[in-house]
């Protein structure tokens, strides 16, 4: 079965595709850990199955969730060769970070400050993501196992350009004959 424009039918992307789901969560987790210095074992994605064990009371940790992936504009289709076309889309990735524990406010403000360090942004850019907006830190204590736990939430908006390659070929030859004057 062909996956290019030489035959009728649906086309699917060829080659690498943008990261979503677990891959995107791993990249966001690396970023949070890199900016805050929190240990790898203390940064978790939200809404996973199975749910990880919550750290013991008295531990400072982070849970994050990717809440939106809105497209910001219609895609651009760019013919890159006689054999392939790229579809470029730009999307914004909204990440809510919840910092829990006795040092939750300290780590949340450390994270916010670290977002504005150029070297940290350069590392984020290496993964194809760019910082767009940083929200307010909200103090939202949470009742966990019948104990109040400090919790500080901040939402960060990132942007990225996604590229998908399709086997759309250019028109090289056509069986057309011109006649007349």
| Tokens found for residue 132 | 């767009």
Give the other-Cβ count within 10 Å of 158's Cβ: 21
Contact between 96 and 153 (Cβ < 8 Å): yes
Residue located via tokens 């070929």: 169
| Predicted confidence band of residue 173 (pLDDT cuts 50, 70, 90) | low
Confidence (pTM): 0.86
Sort strands 147-149 and 61-68 into parallel, antiparallel or unpaired: unpaired
Kindly list the domain boundaries of the chain, sorted by start residue.
Answer: 21-53+60-166
- Per-residue pLDDT at 46: 92
Higher-pLDDT residue of 49 and 129 is 129
Q: Is residue 140 over pLDDT 90?
A: yes
Whether CATH 3.30.2000 fits 21-53+60-166? yes
Q: List beta partners, residue 61.
A: 100
| Mean pLDDT calculated for residue range 139-160 | 94
SS (H, E, C) 33-53: HHHHCCCHHHEEECCCCCCCC
Q: Is residue 178 over pLDDT 80?
A: no
H/E segment holding residue 76: strand 76-79
Q: Is residue 153 over pLDDT 80?
A: yes
pLDDT tens digits, one per residue of 99-117:
999 999 999 999 999 999 9
pLDDT tens digits, one per residue of 34-89:
999 999 999 999 988 888 888 998 999 999 999 877 776 889 999 999 999 999 99
**98 CB contacts (<8 Å, ≥6 apart)?**
46, 62, 63, 64, 140, 151, 152, 153
Residue located via tokens 């009742």: 143
């Amino acid at each position: 079965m062909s996956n290019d424009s030489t035959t009728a039918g649906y086309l699917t992307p060829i080659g690498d595709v943008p990261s979503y789901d677990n891959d995107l969560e791993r990249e966001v987790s690396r970023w949070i850990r890199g900016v805050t210095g929190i240990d790898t074992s203390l940064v978790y994605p939200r809404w996973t199955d199975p749910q990880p064990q919550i750290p013991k009371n008295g531990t400072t940790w982070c849970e994050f969730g990717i809440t939106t992936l809105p497209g910001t504009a219609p895609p651009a289709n760019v013919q890159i060769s006689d054999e392939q076309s790229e579809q470029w889309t730009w999307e914004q990735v909204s990440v809510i970070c919840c910092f829990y524990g006795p040092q939750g406010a300290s780590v949340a403000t450390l994270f916010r400050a670290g977002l504005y360090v150029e070297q940290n942004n350069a590392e984020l850019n290496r993964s194809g993501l760019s910082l767009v907006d940083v929200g307010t830190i909200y103090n939202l204590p949470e009742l966990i196992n019948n104990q109040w736990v400090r919790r500080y939430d901040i939402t960060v908006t990132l942007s990225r350009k996604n590229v998908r390659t399709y086997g759309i070929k250019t028109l090289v030859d056509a069986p057309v004959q011109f006649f007349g004057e």
